Structure 1
């Protein structure tokens, strides 16, 4: 059982016992007309460096630009920068969104294509898209593809929570090395451990939606 395995780490065991369980991943039904991987990448770009509330509002306005509420790649590429700005998107984000659309037209982005790949192979497959970094793909792996052993070390909150929980004093590369060592004991359930860390608050309470 994942919880039993993770609880072998005494510190993580305390975090798990004091933190509500993360929400169960939603079971998606594949819809050939609406690629959820493609859509998740678009939403992640819209969400970059703005609040959740603002991102939700802008993404809703972005979807409303399309007749059926879905940004088919051909339709997205046909949008002018001015049209995309009416949804609240910056010029740069508009270009990033169209980069995802270009990739989607030239490369398969379905579960059937990605499922046989390892996590790292998926990262390398999607990184050429402008505006998509490793962290973005790791979030896709965890929350869309439901991969069980992702450790998003580039996530600032994950690093901060681990430094606090484990009383770490290292910085820079030594810190990254130590974090990987600690998380290595959580394999093959690092995604679940990370989700507990996101929700954990030493003073009580939880982060929602993770």
Structure 2
């Protein structure tokens, strides 16, 4: 813990959010496809509604996290019946089929760089770059990701560093240059900025 805090505290602009910050603990998820199902289910929903639909999803499989074979085999209309849109039901089955055909596991992903892993996961139809970046952060536990497309991060970084967002190209270049200074702990910085 002290390693990332010590490193990030060299950036004086971050000091206000580092004071009294709770520890950031990155954990590897055991069931990687399940992380993606949960993410797809929760997109654009309130936490409460997402939790209800996730519970219904798990109940389709006896309350357990399903295997990719089970998800790929389940009737499409049954998936929709729990409150999923046609699009989300399709994306969930896309994840299951991709796992069965190509693999979504630590063994294969651990051999990939961040850039390669993001490209690999975002090649699944329905999984964008932002979701793939968060997957690396919160399912694989990778410590040096900065999802710069995230609007909350953009807004807060602009506020902390007094950046002008009117010229988007210049703003993004400036923001990524700032975030580069946080390496190799950009994930921790991102989480702390979100929390703030």
Do they fold alike, i.e. is TM over 0.5?
yes
When the two chains are superposed, the root-mean-square deviation of aligned CA atoms in Å is 1.6
**How many angstroms apart in 2 are the aligned matches of 1:146 and 1:106?**
24
1:117 corresponds to 2:118: no
Q: CA deviation at 1:124?
A: 0.9
> Which deviates more, 67-76 or 110-119?
67-76
Q: CA deviation at 1:101?
A: 0.8
> Which deviates more, 44-53 or 98-107?
44-53
Alignment correspondent of 2:16: 14
Name the SS of the counterpart of 1:142 in structure 2: helix
1:22–1:195: 8 Å Cα contact kept in structure 2?
A: no
Alignment correspondent of 2:186: 190
Q: CA deviation at 1:14?
A: 2.2
Alignment correspondent of 1:207: none
**How many angstroms apart in 2 are the aligned matches of 1:44 and 1:22?**
23
Alignment correspondent of 2:87: 92
Alignment correspondent of 1:127: 122
Alignment correspondent of 1:83: 78
**How many angstroms apart in 1 are the aligned matches of 2:176 and 2:28?**
30
Alignment correspondent of 1:41: 36
User: Which structure 2 segments of 5+ residues have no match?
Assistant: none
Q: CA deviation at 1:27?
A: 6.1
1:63–1:70: 8 Å Cα contact kept in structure 2?
A: yes
Alignment correspondent of 2:145: 150
Q: CA deviation at 1:2?
A: 1.5
Alignment correspondent of 1:163: 158
> Which deviates more, 178-187 or 78-87?
78-87
Seen in structure 2, the aligned counterparts of structure 1 residues 27 and 154 have a Cα distance that, compared at 3 Å, is closer
**How many angstroms apart in 2 are the aligned matches of 1:77 and 1:125?**
19
- Scaled by the length of structure 2, what TM-score is found? 0.92
Q: Which structure carries more helix by proportion?
A: 2
**How many angstroms apart in 2 are the aligned matches of 1:169 and 1:182?**
14
2:72–2:97: 8 Å Cα contact kept in structure 1?
A: yes
Alignment correspondent of 2:58: 63
Number of aligned positions between the proteins: 193
- Scaled by the length of structure 1, what TM-score is found? 0.86
User: Which structure 1 segments of 5+ residues have no match?
Assistant: 31-35, 201-210
